[in-house]
Each structure stands twice: as structure tokens, then as C-alpha cells.
Amino acid sequence: MPNVIEFLGRVASLSYEATLTKVWNDKRVQAKIIELNTRKQLFDEGLKSDGSYLPDYSDVSVREYGKPSGHIRLFETGEFFDSFRIIVFGSIAEIVADTIKNNPFGEDTDLAKVYNNTIIGLTDESKTVLKEIIYEVTKEIIWDYLRIS
């Protein structure tokens, strides 16, 4: 039979910061953040974190270089999307990516300068989607912590 005193002691010792650190370090949460930023926002919708859109490919890019019509996707080789990582600082998480890319002319281009730093980050809609997985992961972490042998 579970010891009520031990259980209540565990409840009282729950730490917001420790729990949130575990949430941000969870691979499912990190994968969802990166998927929302790269695949859903940038590639599928052409959306930056501030809700503004990436510009469309030019007619020349579509005609001469075979780019798809519509918004710029920032996915040439996949290198930019593959560079996305989540860095955790205690209870805070930050999305980082290597925005310096070599352009077709052999020069370095900083995508963050060209398209604004808002290419890295989540829209309000993506944050709402993320809350669902964060809720589930948080429940798991707390229940595991409160489990008494």
C-alpha cells in the first residue's frame, strides 16, 4: 500500500524548473519544435515566426532554375533544416540553426539577414500545437516522479 506521507512529500518537492528542463530535453518535444518550424512553417506555408510570409520565387527562378512556384521554401539541399537544434538553458529552450549558407556564386549568405531573424521561431499557431505534446510529456514526467514503489 502506498505511503501517503511519502506521496505528499513528493508532491511538495515537485520543481517547476526541473520539470520544464526535462520537458525541453525530451526528444519528442524537440523533434516537434523543429518539425513545426522547418516543415510546417517554412516549407509548407512560407511563414516566419512573426506571421509574415517569405517572398515568392521569381519567375526567373521558376523558369530557369526549376524552383516551384509560390513561396521560397529555404530548402535547397536540406542542410539548413538539418542544422536546427534546441538548446536548453534550465527551464528555457531556444531554437538555433546555422543560417550561413553558400550561394550558387560561391559566396556566403546569411539567411537570417536576408529573410530576417524571424525564420527561426514558432508562430502562435505552432505554439498552440506544441502545447498539446508538452502537456502529455509533462504529465508523464510528473507521474513518473510521483510514482512510489
- Compute the CA torsion angle 96, 97, 98, 100 (nearest 10 deg): -100
Query: Per-residue pLDDT for 33 more than 80?
Result: yes
> Is 11:2 a contact under the CB 8 Å cutoff?
no
Tell me what percent of the residues of the chain surpass a pLDDT of 70.
97
Q: What is the pLDDT of residues 8-18, one digit of tens each?
A: 888 888 888 99
24, burial (CB in 10 Å: exposed 0-12, middle 13-18, buried 19+):
buried
Grade residue 35 by pLDDT with cuts at 50, 70 and 90. very high
Q: How much is the pLDDT for 149?
A: 60
49, burial (CB in 10 Å: exposed 0-12, middle 13-18, buried 19+):
buried
| pTM of the predicted protein model | 0.89
Q: What is the pLDDT of residues 123-134, one digit of tens each?
A: 999 999 999 999
Domain boundaries, given as residue ranges, for the chain:
15-146
**13 versus 40: which is more confidently predicted?**
40
Q: What is the pLDDT of residues 60-97, one digit of tens each?
A: 999 998 999 999 999 988 999 999 999 999 999 999 99
**7 versus 52: which is more confidently predicted?**
52
Give the Å distances, CA to CA, from 22 to 2, 12, 100. Answer: 25, 18, 30
Query: Per-residue pLDDT for 48 more than 90?
Result: yes
Reading the block at residue 11, the C-alpha cell is: 508532491
Task: Identify the CA nearest to 57 among candidates 98, 65, 112, 49.
Answer: 65
